[in-house]
């Protein structure tokens, strides 16, 4: 049941209050409300996702950044980027970032999860043991054009009975065959991987995306589909901002936080409070979660004191360990008029294609931004390893990603016809932070991604661009690629390449780690492996912030997996 205003919410006892109706929050909303005697409340700051066309039509996703459905956070000036300030999009809408993201579905590597298990001492987080949760989440779906997908994925690796739709693209890109030919021609460096979600992502393969017959599948459209929304024991309060969580019991032996304080999104009206009888679950994401914890006096004691907040729980790791993937978009002019730039640069054509999409959910608008992605490692004997330990979780884990697309992208504004290869550092060594600007919980926090502050990250970015150039030097692209475009064209030496990197790197919007899991006995970390906040009862954190290390892939699938397991752990404790 959806409520749009605080005043309309009934006064009842809620067993669980979930803060944030985002990717993880809606998994919990669904799984906990399966138990009819649990009353579940979700408090979400954003509005409904229903009817938001840019969120429904996959091709329009890039228009959501900077819109009313984005929190519109920005970073502090980034020292590694010559002082540039970056936007850091986060979904401000039911479904959270799953309602505004680029829909790539990648699980990371098996060793990423095995490292979660070893870092926390909980084998339940290992690759083998999370397999049931992958399947609870995933509902493999045929692509919108029903093309033959025989050699494009491995069905044995996928779940067909889950909730969240995953599919291959439903419309071919004009460069598809050239990409595949390259994997044969340059087999050594760019081997074809027919399913990069096996735990061994290395190679180049077909993109899988959270798309359901041409429409976005988000945690809101899937886990909160109308049959689930109709549950009488599930209440979802929209347009309501959680300001703090409050201590419920003052006894030192049972420090409990089960009370949530909130106000309407436009901050009109008084702040209200609700106390959950079983647990509060913080699912406000990697920025929102530490922001709420710090505003509530849970964080580093001296840092809180410095801005005028009395620490109730001294947990120095809150807001630390922020990791994100630095990314660059690199475009080359091509010798063809048949590129996706036709859609990006021609509003009339987009309107025509939208009519086709509205009728049948087919056509190029039903696709995510690429057909193929690649996952690669820098050479084992790279000079950087003389000074830096490899931050990747193991030898089956890439250091960088190549996102191969026809066209320069919907937001590029570049006139002409292009092929582009996005380069992403997926095992960054740098760590940033989220901290408070003021004692006012409605003030946005200070976000420092620390991008390119580690030499390793710059090294990998440089190597990834060289690798992208080698990819396009395959015979398959002869007569097609004319040459690099825009600022990229001037990056002709290593020095100029570094300048180009620092001037143009952006975030691919994968922040994690700001309320990280650690072993129960560790002196650092924010939550135990069961996701309970250390030293506090009644409070769990379930979202991207609990990842102790960033996954080597796009982060939504791991968030879904973490949330599915968290739901099981919570049920186990209360049933
Ligand atoms: C533009 C963009 C593109 C991306 N592309 C991809 C991709 O292609 N593939 C991929 O795998 N991942 C992608 N990601 C990352 C992925 O979407 C996120 O890692 C994941 O969705 C995070 O889930 P979460 O549950 O941690 O947070 P979110 O899904 O962001 O949920 C947090 C929720 O909490 C709410 N909230 C926060 N603070 C408060 C408060 N004080 N009061 C009330 N509610 C609050 C928010 O409004 C939001 O709904 C992208 C992200 C973005 C933003």
- Count how many Cα atoms sit within 13 Å of the Cα of residue 561 in the half-sphere of its side chain: 26
In ligand 1, the atom with minimum distance to the C-alpha of 243 is 41
Q: Are residues 356 and 468 in the same domain?
A: yes
Taking the C-alpha atoms of residue 16 and residue 38, their distance in angstroms, rounded to an integer, is 7
CB atoms within 10 A of CB 519: 16
Asked if the structure places residue 105 within a domain, the reply is no
Q: Are residues 416 and 554 in the same domain?
A: no
* Predicted pLDDT at 413: 83
* Predicted pLDDT at 252: 60
Taking the C-alpha atoms of residue 497 and residue 466, their distance in angstroms, rounded to an integer, is 10
Taking the C-alpha atoms of residue 36 and residue 294, their distance in angstroms, rounded to an integer, is 34
Q: Are residues 207 and 335 in the same domain?
A: yes
From 220, 556, 558, 566, mutation site for ligand 1 pocket: most ligand atoms within 8 A of C-beta: 556
Question: Which phi and psi angles does 537 have, rounded to 5°?
Answer: -105, 160
Taking the C-alpha atoms of residue 537 and residue 499, their distance in angstroms, rounded to an integer, is 49
Q: What's 354's domain CATH number?
A: 3.30.560.10
Q: Are residues 471 and 531 in the same domain?
A: no
* Predicted pLDDT at 414: 86
Q: Are residues 201 and 261 in the same domain?
A: no
Asked if the structure places residue 364 within a domain, the reply is yes
Tell me the CA distances in angstroms from 458 to 252, 327, 393, 433, 525, one per residue in order: 47, 11, 19, 19, 27
Where does a domain end: 470, 504, 538?
A: 504
- From the list 311, 314, 262, 297, the residue with the least C-alpha distance to 17 is 262
- From the list 166, 167, 164, the residue with the least C-alpha distance to 222 is 164
Structural domain for 275, as ranges: 2-50+221-320+512-574
Asked if the structure places residue 129 within a domain, the reply is no
Asked if the structure places residue 115 within a domain, the reply is no
Strands (E), 335-415: 372-376, 400-406
Where does a domain end: 504, 529, 546?
A: 504
Number of domains in the chain: 2
Write the secondary structure of 215-256 as one string of H (helix), E (strand) and C (coil). Answer: EECCCCCCCCCHHHHCCCCEEEECCEEEEEEEEEECCHHHCE
Establish whether 92 is a catalytic residue.
no
**H/E run at residue 461:** helix 455-472
What percentage of the chain's residues is helix, strand, coil (to nearest 5)? 30, 20, 45
The distance in angstroms from the start CA to the end CA of the chain is 24
Regions of the chain short of the pLDDT cut 70: 250-253
Q: How far is the CA of 40 from the centre of ligand 1 (A)?
A: 21
Asked if the structure places residue 236 within a domain, the reply is yes
Q: What's 12's domain CATH number?
A: 3.50.50.60
Q: Are residues 330 and 308 in the same domain?
A: no
Q: What is the Rg, in whole angstroms, of the alpha carbon atoms belonging to the chain?
A: 23
Taking the C-alpha atoms of residue 315 and residue 277, their distance in angstroms, rounded to an integer, is 24
Establish whether 554 is a catalytic residue.
yes
Q: Are residues 167 and 300 in the same domain?
A: no
Q: Are residues 200 and 243 in the same domain?
A: no
The active-site residue, picked from 158, 213, 325, 510, is 510
* Predicted pLDDT at 251: 65
* Predicted pLDDT at 268: 81
Q: Are residues 398 and 476 in the same domain?
A: yes
Which residue has its alpha carbon closest to ligand 1 atom 49? 96
Asked if the structure places residue 298 within a domain, the reply is yes
Asked if the structure places residue 84 within a domain, the reply is no
Q: pLDDT tens digit string along 152-210?
A: 999 999 999 999 999 999 999 999 999 999 999 999 999 999 999 999 999 999 999 99
Q: Are strands 2-3 and 16-19 parallel, antiparallel or unpaired?
A: unpaired
Q: Are residues 516 and 372 in the same domain?
A: no
Q: What angle do CA 295, 296, 299 make, to 5 degrees?
A: 80
- Count how many Cα atoms sit within 13 Å of the Cα of residue 319 in the half-sphere of its side chain: 27
* Predicted pLDDT at 254: 74
Which residue has its alpha carbon closest to ligand 1 atom 52? 101
User: Are the C-beta atoms of residues 302 and 561 closer than 8 Å to each other?
Assistant: no
Q: Are residues 456 and 562 in the same domain?
A: no
Q: Are residues 210 and 242 in the same domain?
A: no
Q: Which residues are near ligand 1 (CB < 6 Å)?
A: 19-25, 43-46, 65, 89-92, 96-98, 100-104, 241-242, 283-286, 288, 292, 509-510, 543-544, 554-557, 559
Asked if the structure places residue 484 within a domain, the reply is yes
Contacts of 268 (CB under 8 A, 6+ apart): none
Where does a domain end: 504, 522, 538?
A: 504
């Amino acid at each position: 049941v959806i409520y749009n205003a605080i005043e309309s919410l009934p006064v009842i006892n809620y067993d669980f209050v979930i803060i944030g109706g985002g990717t993880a929050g809606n998994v919990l909303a669904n799984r906990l409300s399966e138990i009819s005697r649990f009353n579940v409340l979700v408090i979400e700051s954003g509005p409904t996702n229903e009817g938001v066309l840019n969120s429904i039509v996959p091709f329009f996703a890039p228009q959501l950044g900077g819109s009313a459905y984005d929190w519109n956070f920005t970073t502090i000036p980034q020292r590694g980027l010559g002082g540039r300030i970056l936007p850091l999009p986060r979904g401000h809408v039911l479904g959270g970032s799953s309602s505004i993201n680029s829909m790539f579905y990648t699980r990371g590597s098996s060793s990423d999860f095995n490292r979660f298990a070893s870092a926390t001492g909980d084998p339940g987080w290992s690759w083998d043991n999370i397999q049931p949760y992958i399947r609870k989440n995933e509902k493999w779906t045929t692509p919108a054009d029903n093309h033959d997908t025989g050699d494009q994925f491995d069905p044995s690796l996928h779940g067909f009975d889950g909730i969240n739709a995953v599919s291959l693209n439903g419309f071919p890109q004009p460069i598809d065959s050239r990409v595949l030919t390259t994997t044969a021609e340059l087999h050594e460096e760019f081997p074809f991987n027919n399913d990069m979600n096996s735990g061994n992502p290395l190679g180049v393969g077909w993109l899988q995306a959270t798309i359901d017959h041409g429409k976005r599948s988000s945690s809101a459209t899937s886990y909160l589909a109308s049959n689930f929304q109709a549950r009488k024991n599930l209440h979802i309060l929209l347009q309501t901002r959680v300001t703090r969580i409050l201590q419920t019991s003052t006894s030192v032996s049972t420090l409990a936080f089960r009370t949530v304080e909130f106000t309407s999104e436009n901050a009109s009206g008084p702040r209200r409070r609700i106390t959950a009888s079983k647990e509060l679950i913080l699912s406000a994401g990697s920025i929102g979660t530490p922001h709420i914890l710090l505003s509530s006096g849970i964080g580093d004691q001296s840092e809180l004191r410095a801005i005028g907040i009395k620490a109730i729980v001294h947990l120095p790791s809150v807001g630390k360990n922020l990791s994100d993937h630095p990314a660059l978009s690199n475009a080359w002019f091509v010798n063809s008029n048949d590129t996706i730039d036709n859609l990006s640069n021609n509003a009339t054509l987009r309107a025509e294609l939208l009519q086709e999409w509205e009728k049948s959910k087919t056509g190029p608008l039903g696709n995510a931004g690429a057909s193929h992605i690649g996952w690669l490692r820098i050479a084992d004997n790279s000079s950087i390893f003389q000074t830096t330990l490899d931050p990747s979780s193991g030898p089956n884990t890439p250091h960088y990603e190549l996102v191969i697309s026809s066209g320069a992208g919907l937001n590029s504004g570049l006139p002409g016809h292009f092929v582009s290869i996005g380069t992403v550092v997926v095992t960054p060594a740098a760590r940033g932070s989220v901290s408070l600007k003021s004692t006012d919980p409605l003030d946005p926090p200070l976000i420092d991604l620390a991008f390119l502050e580690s030499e390793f990250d710059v090294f990998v970015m440089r190597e990834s661009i060289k690798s992208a150039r080698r990819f396009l030097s395959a015979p398959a692209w002869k007569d097609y690629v004319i040459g690099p475009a825009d600022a990229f064209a001037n990056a002709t030496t290593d020095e100029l390449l570094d300048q180009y990197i620092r001037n143009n790197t952006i975030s691919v919007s994968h922040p994690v780690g700001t309320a990280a899991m650690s072993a129960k006995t560790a002196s650092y970390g924010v939550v135990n492996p069961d996701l309970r906040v250390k030293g506090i009862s009644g409070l769990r954190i379930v979202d991207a912030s609990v990842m102790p290390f960033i996954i080597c892939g796009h982060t939504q699938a791991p968030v879904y997996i973490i949330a599915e397991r968290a739901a099981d752990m919570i049920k186990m404790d209360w049933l």
